[in-house]
Amino acid sequence: MTSIQLKEEKIPFQGEDISPNQDKEIVRQGINDDKPLFDDQAFIHYVGSEVDGKIFVNSRDRDEKFNFSLGKGEVIPAWDLGVATMKRGEIARFFSIPKYAYGSKGEKKYQSATSVIFEIELLDFVDLSDENDGSIIRRIIRRGEGRKSPNEDGTVEINLKGIYKDNVFDERTVQFIVGLGFLQHIPLGVERAVCKMLLNEHCQLVLKAKALQGLEKFSIPMNESIQYEVTLVKFERLEEERLLNDKEKFEQAELLKARVDDVNLKGIYKDNVFDERTVQFIVGLGFLQHIPLGVERAVCKMLLNEHCQLVLKAKALQGLEKFSIPMNESIQYEVTLVRFERLEEERSLNDKEKFEQAELLKARADDLVKNSYYELAAKRYQIVTNLLSSATFRETNDTIKLRQLKIATQSNLALCYLKLGDYRQCKIFCDNALALDARNEKCLFRRGQVYIAFSNFEQAIKDFQTALKINPSNVAAQQQIEHCRQQKIKQKESYKAFFNDTSKPGLFDVDEKV
């Protein structure tokens, strides 16, 4: 809509035309030039009124800010278009015709084909970090193609360029499995961003704090910020369970559960044998023993004592980084499957077999925890949880063992998420374990650490005190109690300083009036 059209309709509105059917008037300028981009989480307050000034909605009446992903169609087009032009802290009014508001038929109580005015305050916009802490800030330089993005356990190929203090420290083209990027020194923030990207998208990231996990090789302090430019060259999604047939579901499950007891390997590159051995490994974790992805996939299709020859290239070479073979080269492997153990599908197991399988998987997950592979361990503990959820026993001894295994699994899941910095998930699994065993010292201590992370020092003290009653020699719990008490004092002093006003009674003063 143009300014001339506005004048003809006598709408009291002055501003710039930002779309064919929407005008903007700035009520208050923003604080800088940064504007939200596609898929940023925008936090706003809004007031909606009809052209005659009658207000029909006001988020401030509910004292509730609203957030949405910009450009994803989660809100009316007027908001997607308008908020994209705003700066942080800006207040603007937008006039929109029905096409960009509630359509020609209107919506619920709004009149059919009604033009509306929205006053929007852009409170903030954040990007990809789980806790909206600004640890992953993304700016899209070039939009991608299509609608699908990579998912967990999918395979991606990206171009990377990492910059720290104006120096390029990491520039390469790399393939990796989402969730295992740390094995190739891909920072956590880049992995999170890749899962939001479309094919051929090019973006710029600013990472800090926990988003730098995976870059330990480069010795960058966690309190620093770095910049990455990332282009998603190609990817292959791991199909969602609802799209798989039963055979495909089992094959995916095997990647997490199967164990190959003995495989004879002979790897040849440029007519030279570079890898000859007999090895045991768990399918899906072969990289821990430098088994290439292509060999793992082939083994899942082999029969006992089968001998085959493989030619591998590109992403099938993942896992061979130790041998420094370029990803664009081809290698040959000869493989013999000597012995294997295949875990049965859950639906075909009786309760005793479920328990035995759960014990086996928990032992494997425990090994992963010892080697600090917390995400991989958490996946396997979740499988154990699923197995145990439907198992029941009549014998008292079996019931006790089942309960103990459930507690240990929930406790270890809590440990994994605590190590990963996912405090909400950690608390959930601590609560689960404590529901089964209220005297679980480890989970009381871990939940106390979660409360410290949330600055809830009172609750943290309660958990540490309970842990100390269970085990009076728990020195760490006593130290944490003292730490929490000191933090509570600092917190109270901070509140006093913030709220104190010498011109009138403060919030912490006693009201002596009768």
* Residue 189 placed within a domain: yes
* Residue 252 placed within a domain: yes
**Burial (CB count <10 Å: 0-12, 13-18, 19+), residue 301:** exposed
Task: Supply φ then ψ for residue 390, to 5 degrees.
Answer: -105, 5
pLDDT digits (tens, 9 = 90+) for 443-461: 999 999 999 998 899 999 9
Q: Is the pLDDT of residue 10 over 60?
A: no
Task: Supply φ then ψ for residue 463, to 5 degrees.
Answer: -65, -40
Q: Residue 458 belongs to a domain with what CATH number?
A: 1.25.40.10
- In the chain, what percentage of residues exceed pLDDT 90? 21
What single letter denotes the amino acid at residue 192? R
pLDDT-based confidence at 417, cuts 50/70/90?
A: very high
Q: Return d(Cα 182, Cα 159) in angstroms, integer.
A: 16
* Residue 107 placed within a domain: yes
* Residue 513 placed within a domain: no
Does one domain contain both 66 and 183?
no
pLDDT-based confidence at 248, cuts 50/70/90?
A: very low
- Structure-block tokens of residue 67: 């957030």
Closest CA to 260 of 291, 237, 235: 291
Q: Is the pLDDT of residue 225 over 60?
A: yes
- Give the highest mean pLDDT range of 200-214, 250-264, 486-500: 200-214
Does one domain contain both 300 and 334?
yes
Host domain of residue 190: 136-236
Who contacts 252 (Cβ-Cβ below 8 Å, separation ≥6)?
A: 238, 239, 241, 244
Q: What angle separates helix 475-499 from helix 457-470, to the nearest 10 degrees?
A: 160
The answer to whether the beta carbons of residues 232 and 146 sit under 8 Å apart is no
Who contacts 512 (Cβ-Cβ below 8 Å, separation ≥6)?
A: none
pLDDT-based confidence at 249, cuts 50/70/90?
A: very low
Does one domain contain both 364 and 420?
yes
Closest CA to 162 of 211, 196, 234: 211
pLDDT digits (tens, 9 = 90+) for 157-182: 899 999 998 899 999 988 887 777 77
Rounded mean pLDDT, 20-36: 77
Does one domain contain both 264 and 357?
no
pLDDT-based confidence at 120, cuts 50/70/90?
A: very high
DSSP 181-233: GGGGT--HHHHHHHTTPPBT-EEEEEEEGGGGTT-GGGT--TTSEEEEEEEEE
Does one domain contain both 83 and 31?
yes
Does one domain contain both 170 and 197?
yes
Does one domain contain both 145 and 247?
no
The answer to whether the beta carbons of residues 313 and 333 sit under 8 Å apart is no
The answer to whether the beta carbons of residues 190 and 207 sit under 8 Å apart is yes
pLDDT digits (tens, 9 = 90+) for 335-371: 888 877 655 555 557 778 788 878 878 887 888 888 7
Does one domain contain both 256 and 228?
no
Lookup result for tokens 């209107």: 106
pLDDT of residue 130: 58
- Give the highest mean pLDDT range of 145-149, 319-323, 359-363, 424-428: 424-428
CB atoms within 10 A of CB 198: 18
* Residue 431 placed within a domain: yes
Does one domain contain both 215 and 248?
no
pLDDT digits (tens, 9 = 90+) for 99-110: 888 876 555 545
* Residue 512 placed within a domain: no
Task: Supply φ then ψ for residue 226, to 5 degrees.
Answer: -130, 165
Q: Is the pLDDT of residue 65 over 90?
A: no
Does one domain contain both 424 and 486?
yes
Higher-confidence residue: 357 or 422?
A: 422
Single residue among 169, 201, 236 that ends a domain in this structure: 236
pLDDT digits (tens, 9 = 90+) for 327-337: 888 898 888 88
Does one domain contain both 334 and 211?
no
* Residue 509 placed within a domain: no
Single residue among 236, 262, 285 that ends a domain in this structure: 236
Q: Residue 158 belongs to a domain with what CATH number?
A: 3.10.50.40
DSSP 259-328: EEEEEEEEEEETTEEEEEEEEEEETT-GGGGT--HHHHHHHTTPPTT-EEEEEEEGGGGTT-GGGT--TT
* Residue 130 placed within a domain: no
> What is the number of structural domains in the chain?
4
Average per-residue pLDDT in the chain?
79
Single residue among 73, 98, 125 that ends a domain in this structure: 125
Does one domain contain both 101 and 223?
no
- Give the highest mean pLDDT range of 41-45, 337-341, 379-383, 432-436: 432-436
Is the model's pTM score more than 0.85? no
pLDDT of residue 438: 94
Rounded mean pLDDT, 115-131: 79
